[in-house]
Amino acid sequence: MADEIQPLGNSTPSSLTSKQVHYARLNVQLSELEKNIKKLQENLQVTAEQIPSFRKLGTLHSSILMSSSRVLSENDTTETNRDS
């Protein structure tokens, strides 16, 4: 009966090798995961430091957009009044 389930204490060398391979793969994957998490933390830290600059840039962009809209609308009304 070669298909019998063996007790835990009687592990075959091939099953130990298979487990070692799986553990080695898991170890590599965990190392990559740890590296990626560290990189993510660094990126989040940089982003958190840049948030005030993003806010200021958004405010400046909005100001420029509003002022250009006002200038363009004034030019349109001036040209309309000249044509009339």
Domain ranges of the chain: 21-83
Asked whether residue 7 carries a pLDDT value surpassing 60, the answer given is: no
**How many residues make up the chain in this entry?**
84
Residue 43 CA to residue 32 CA, distance in Å, equals: 16
Q: What global pTM score does this model have? A: 0.54
3-state secondary structure at position 48: helix
What is the average per-residue pLDDT within 44-72? 94
